[in-house]
C-alpha cells in the first residue's frame, strides 16, 4: 500500500489489516482496510473480518491478532489508524 | 513450540521461537542502527537473520552488523535517525507515575539497557502490556518487602485500588489407610475429624495477618474449605478458597486455611498414627490485582 493511501486511512475511521501466510491466500492480498463504526474490540474486529471473508471463519480460533506490533487479547481495544496483523499459527510442533 | 520464550524475548511478549512478530530486543537493535523494518519485511527475513537482530538487541548493538542484515530486506528497510539511547539514562515521567519504585534512579540504572528500552518503548506507546512488563522486569528484581537496609516492612498498599481477589490453595495429609478410614467413619479418638478440620481452616484464614508477619489485614468475604478422603491411598486432600474485595491478595489466607486444616487433622488423629505427614501445601490459583491470574502448572515441581 502506498504512503499516501496509508495516510488517508489514518484520517478516516479505518484500520489497516495485514494478512500473512495462509490468511493471505484466503484474502487474496497482503493487506486490506476495515472501516470502524466506532471504538471496537479485537474480537469485534475479527467478527467483521470473518463476515467479509467467510472462508476465514474455520481458522478463526487459531489466528492471533497483533495490534501495532504486539499480540492483543480479544477484549483489547482497536482504534482508527491502528495497524492490525492477522497471524496464523506456525505449522508443526 | 517450547514453553520458554527464546533468549532475549520477554515472557509477556508471547512471541515464540519462530519470532513471528518483532520482539522488543530486535526493535532496540533496529532503533540504534537507524533502520525501520515493517512487519512484512521482518517476516520475510530468514529465521537466522531474525535471530541475529534479536541477539544484537540484548547487549551492545553492532550497528554495522544490524545494517548488514537489513540491507537484504524485502520490502527494503527505511533509514531513520539512529538512537543514541541517551533517553535511557532516566525513566520517563509517565513510567515513574505507574511504577513509583523507579523514582530511585539507582534502581532504574540497575536494569539492563534492553529492559530500560522495553519499559520506555511500552510506556511511550501506552501499551496494554506495560503492566505485565513491569511485573516481569521490575517485580522480581526489587523485593518490595525489604527496605534499602534489608529491614523487613509491610508494603504500603494505601494507593492500590480495591479489586476482586480470589485464591485457591491445597494441602495433603498422608496417613495409614486405616487412619483415613477412621476420618471418614467419624471413629477417630477425638471425634469428627473432617468437620473440625474444616472449621479450623476457616477460622485460621481470618487470623492470617497475626500469623504471617508482613501480611495486611484483609476483609475476607468468603472462606471455604473442602476435604476429600482417599482411603486406599491413605490421603486426605484439602482445598481452600478465599475471596475478598481489597487492596492486596488473599493467597496467604488460602494457604493458612489449608495448612491449619491439615494440622488439625494431624492433631485429631495423632493418637492412632503419629507418622502422618503434612505435604505439598501449594497455591493452585490466584486472581485479581496487578499481577492478574496465576494458575499452578499441574506438572510443575516447586
**Integer Cα distance of B216 and B144 in angstroms:** 14
Residues of B in contact with A90 (CB under 8 A): 1, 16, 18, 20
Sign of the C-alpha dihedral, residues A7, A10, A11, A13? positive
Residue B232, burial from CB neighbour count under 10 angstroms (0-12, 13-18, 19+): exposed
What are the tens digits of pLDDT across the range B259-285? 999 999 999 999 999 999 999 999 999
What are the tens digits of pLDDT across the range B138-193? 865 445 555 445 555 667 677 677 888 899 999 999 999 999 999 998 888 888 99
Residue B1 confidence (pLDDT): 37
Beta-carbon separation of A70 and B40 below 8 A: no
Residue A86 confidence (pLDDT): 94
Residue B282 confidence (pLDDT): 96
Residue B277 confidence (pLDDT): 97
Helix (H, G, I), strand (E, B) or coil at B31: helix
Strand order in the sheet with A14-19: A31-35, A14-19, A83-87, A64-67, A70-71
What are the tens digits of pLDDT across the range A49-93? 999 999 998 888 888 899 999 999 888 889 888 899 999 876 543
Residue A6 confidence (pLDDT): 52
- Stated pTM of the model: 0.58
pLDDT < 50 regions, chain B? 1-2, 141-142, 147-148
Residues 16-45 of A with CB under 8 A from B: 18, 20, 30
Distance from CA of A37 to the nearest CA of B (A): 23
**Integer Cα distance of B280 and B302 in angstroms:** 9
Distance from CA of A69 to the nearest CA of B (A): 7
Amino acid at each position: 500500500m502506498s504512503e499516501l493511501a496509508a495516510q488517508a486511512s489514518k484520517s478516516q475511521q479505518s484500520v489497516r489489516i495485514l494478512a500473512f501466510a495462509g490468511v493471505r491466500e484466503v484474502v487474496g492480498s497482503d493487506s486490506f482496510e476495515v472501516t470502524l463504526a466506532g471504538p471496537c474490540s479485537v474480537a469485534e474486529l475479527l467478527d467483521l473480518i470473518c463476515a467479509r471473508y467467510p472462508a476465514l471463519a474455520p481458522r478463526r480460533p487459531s489466528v492471533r491478532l497483533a495490534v501495532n506490533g504486539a499480540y492483543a487479547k480479544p477484549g483489547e481495544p482497536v482504534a482508527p489508524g491502528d495497524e492490525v496483523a492477522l497471524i496464523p499459527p506456525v505449522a508443526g510442533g | 513450540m517450547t514453553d520458554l520464550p527464546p533468549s532475549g524475548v520477554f515472557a509477556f511478549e508471547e512471541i515464540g521461537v519462530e519470532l513471528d512478530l518483532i520482539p522488543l530486543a530486535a526493535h532496540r537493535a533496529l532503533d540504534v542502527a537507524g533502520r525501520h523494518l515493517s512487519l512484512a519485511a521482518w517476516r520475510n527475513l530468514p529465521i537466522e537473520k531474525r535471530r541475529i537482530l534479536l541477539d544484537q538487541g540484548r547487549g551492545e548493538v553492532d550497528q554495522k552488523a544490524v545494517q548488514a542484515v537489513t540491507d537484504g530486506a524485502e520490502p527494503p528497510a527505511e533509514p531513520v535517525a539512529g538512537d543514541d539511547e541517551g533517553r535511557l539514562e532516566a525513566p520517563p515521567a509517565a513510567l515513574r507515575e505507574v511504577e513509583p519504585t523507579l523514582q530511585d534512579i539507582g534502581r532504574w540504572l540497575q536494569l539492563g539497557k534492553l529492559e530500560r528500552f522495553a519499559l520506555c518503548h511500552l510506556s511511550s506507546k501506552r501499551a496494554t502490556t506495560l503492566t505485565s512488563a513491569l511485573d516481569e522486569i521490575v517485580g522480581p528484581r526489587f523485593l518490595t518487602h525489604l527496605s534499602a537496609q534489608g529491614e523487613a516492612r509491610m508494603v504500603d498498599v494505601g494507593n492500590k485500588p480495591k479489586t476482586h481477589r480470589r485464591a485457591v490453595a491445597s494441602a495433603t495429609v498422608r496417613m495409614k489407610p486405616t487412619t483415613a478410614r477412621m476420618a471418614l467413619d467419624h471413629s477417630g479418638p477425638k471425634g469428627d475429624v473432617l468437620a473440625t478440620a474444616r472449621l479450623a481452616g476457616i477460622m485460621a484464614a481470618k487470623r492470617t495477618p497475626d500469623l504471617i508477619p508482613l501480611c495486611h489485614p484483609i476483609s475476607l468475604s468468603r472462606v471455604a474449605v473442602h476435604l476429600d478422603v482417599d482411603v486406599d491411598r491413605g490421603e486426605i486432600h484439602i482445598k481452600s478458597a478465599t475471596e475478598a474485595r481489597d487492596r492486596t491478595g488473599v493467597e496467604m489466607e488460602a494457604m493458612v486455611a489449608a495448612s491449619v486444616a491439615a494440622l488439625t487433622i494431624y492433631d485429631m488423629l495423632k493418637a492412632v498414627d503419629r507418622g502422618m505427614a503434612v505435604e505439598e501445601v501449594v497455591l493452585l490459583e490466584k486472581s485479581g490485582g496487578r499481577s492478574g491470574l496465576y494458575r499452578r502448572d499441574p506438572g510443575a515441581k516447586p
